[in-house]
């Protein structure tokens, strides 16, 4: 583990205040974010993207407006090339591989066992699901959900706001 950050607490529903979630105390709800900024300057978004990324994007924009810094979080079990680049708020999960010259935009989730090959571009607010393969030079435009075990052929582009179903093979 990098041990760069300490989890101060969880932001969740009002009714969970002062309870525990995953052994962390709930220290507030979304309405408390401005007040909490007086004490905490960093935040990560743990809301995923199932049917829509609306909640995740709204939280990202709210946190940025308040002034929070959204660090890049990389599992110690992932491999990320030192020649890859990532924007703020990116979360890289366990056993992900991100190869040379790949670019990942802000607020993206690269989920467990995904492969992002050389020169691939993942634009902001996208979610690359478990076991997905993004082959070299491919471009995943913003706000895209790329399903579990889906695969895209090299140098192929997916348009913005797309939903790629689990197990899909994009060959054109």
Report the predicted TM-score, pTM, of the whole model to 2 decimal places: 0.93
**pLDDT score for 1:** 53
The predicted-structure confidence for 157-169, as pLDDT tens digits, reads as follows 999 999 999 999 9
**pLDDT score for 57:** 97
Of 152, 90, 154, 99, the residue nearest 124 (C-alpha): 90
Q: Which pair of tokens denotes residue 100?
A: 């040379």
User: Is 114's pLDDT higher than 80?
Assistant: yes
The predicted-structure confidence for 1-51, as pLDDT tens digits, reads as follows 567 889 999 999 999 999 999 999 999 999 999 999 999 999 999 998 877
**pLDDT score for 63:** 98
CATH 2.160.10.10 spans which residues of the chain?
A: 72-172
The predicted-structure confidence for 51-96, as pLDDT tens digits, reads as follows 789 999 999 999 999 999 999 999 999 999 999 999 999 999 999 9
Active site residues: 118
| Superfamily the domain 72-172 falls into | Hexapeptide repeat proteins (2.160.10.10)
Which pairing describes strands 20-21 and 24-28: parallel, antiparallel, or unpaired?
Answer: antiparallel
Report d(CA 38, CA 34) in Å as an integer.
7
Instruction: Please report the sign of the dihedral spanned by the C-alpha atoms of residue 70, residue 71, residue 76, residue 81.
Output: positive
């Amino acid at each position: 583990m990098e041990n760069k950050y300490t989890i101060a607490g969880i932001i969740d529903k009002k009714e969970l205040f002062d309870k525990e979630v995953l052994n962390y105390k709930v220290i507030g709800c979304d309405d408390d974010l401005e007040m909490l900024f007086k004490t905490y300057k960093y935040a990560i978004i743990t809301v995923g993207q199932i049917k829509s990324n609306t909640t995740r994007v709204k939280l990202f924009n709210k946190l940025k407006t308040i002034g929070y810094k959204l660090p890049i979080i990389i599992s110690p079990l992932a491999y990320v090339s030192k020649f890859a680049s990532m924007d703020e708020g990116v979360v890289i999960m366990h056993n992900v591989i991100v190869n040379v010259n790949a670019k990942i935009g802000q607020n993206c989730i690269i989920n467990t066992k995904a492969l992002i090959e050389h020169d691939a571009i993942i634009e902001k607010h996208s979610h690359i699901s478990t076991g997905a393969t993004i082959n070299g030079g491919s471009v995943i435009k913003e706000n895209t959900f790329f399903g579990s075990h889906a695969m895209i052929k090299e140098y192929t582009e997916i348009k913005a706001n797309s939903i790629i179903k689990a197990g899909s093979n994009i060959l054109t």
